[in-house]
Amino acid sequence: FKAICEDDMPDYNKHISRPLLELSEIYSDVLADEWRSLTYRKVANKLDRLPYQILSADEVKNIQGIGKSMVDKIKEILCTGQLQKLFNLKASSQVQIMQQFASVWGIGPKHALKLYQAGHRSLQDISEDQTLSPMARVGLKYHYDIALRIPQSEVSEAGSFVRHVLEDLCPGASIIVGGSYRRGNATCGDIDLLITHPDGHSHKGLLGRLVTKLEEAQFLITCPNPFTEIYPKQAYAFALVYFTGNDVLNRRIRYLAKKKGYKLSDQGLFLRVGDNKTGMASEVSIPCETEEEVFQKLGLPYPEPHERNW
């Protein structure tokens, strides 16, 4: 499975694309400059897809979307093995402080910048700030807890608890613990629960009722953000593939799907109409009831969840 996917997307230029992606992340997550972030990400993705290793910056000059300043950066990486701009940004105390602010659940990059401009320099400082949303207050209060990884056994216990509550509330509903837990990891960053109902309609409005029950049981201490709605039956197999991950595998199979003329998402597998660039896709998904079918439609052997840790 891995060989088929990797054969399709070789990693000849990771040493160049990785620093560009890091720069892209700093631009979007810290500096709130989505446009620059996108430019770097697009170039990194292009380089990742080249079927050969770049040995000289001259080789990328004629690639569409790679301008003069990008060629210079690629040259710098090839000559020195690093990117001074990235090095300077990572070393800057402003970036480090804003990175810390933006690592609080509920604080985005623009808000992190405003907090910095307001003179705040530590998490202690921002706890008094009036501009924090209710969500950010929760994020700050549990900041260190949220950052801790959860042992597999605890995820399993929490999943069983929610399953019991759900079975009482809506008999026949199905729930799976996805994410890193389903892939068999020893610890998890969070608990990804995927819920549907096989009758095709009972899932509607179920999430709100479930959240209320979990709050009543004091399992949920707080629920400040709207969760993604429960998946309808016809999207479930695709949602399960997506939420089992991991993210690298998802990127690979999305890319593979695109090359075969499809658009793959957590909602379905859609046939593209017109050329790939217009991004148009049919509105109705190709039906798949199981993960096995999803992989089969993509022309891939079925990988067990534990084989999806890339």
Which residue numbers are catalytic? 73
By beta-carbon proximity to Mg ion, the closer residue of 19 and 245 is 245
Least gap, CB of 239 to ligand DCP (angstroms): 10
By beta-carbon proximity to ligand DCP, the closer residue of 115 and 250 is 250
Least gap, CB of 151 to ligand DCP (angstroms): 11
Q: Is 179 a residue that touches Mg ion (CB under 5 A)?
A: yes
Answer with the entry of Mg ion, ligand DCP, none that 208 interacts with (C-beta below 5 to 8 A by kind): none
The region, left, alpha or beta by phi > 0 then psi within -120 to 50, assigned to residue 184 is left
By beta-carbon proximity to ligand DCP, the closer residue of 57 and 265 is 265
Closest among 60, 86, 289, 275 to 196, alpha carbons compared: 289
Between residue 187 and residue 216, which ones bind Mg ion under the rule CB under 5 A?
190, 192
Answer with the entry of ligand DCP, Mg ion, none that 196 interacts with (C-beta below 5 to 8 A by kind): none
Least gap, CB of 244 to ligand DCP (angstroms): 6
By beta-carbon proximity to ligand DCP, the closer residue of 111 and 183 is 183
Where does this chain bind ligand DCP (CB under 6 A)? Answer: 179-180, 188-190, 192, 242-243, 245-247, 250
Quote the CA–CA distance of 245 and 181 in Å, as a whole number: 10
Q: How far are the Cα atoms of 59, 70, 190 from residue 54, in angstroms, in the given order?
A: 7, 14, 38
Least gap, CB of 254 to ligand DCP (angstroms): 9
Burial of 288 from C-beta contacts in 10 A (0-12 / 13-18 / 19+)? buried
Q: How far are the Cα atoms of 4, 14, 253 from residue 249, in angstroms, in the given order?
A: 12, 16, 6
Quote the CA–CA distance of 217 and 205 in Å, as a whole number: 19
**Residue listed under structure tokens 């995820």:** 155
Q: Under the rule (CB under 5 A), what is the footprint of Mg ion?
A: 179, 190, 192
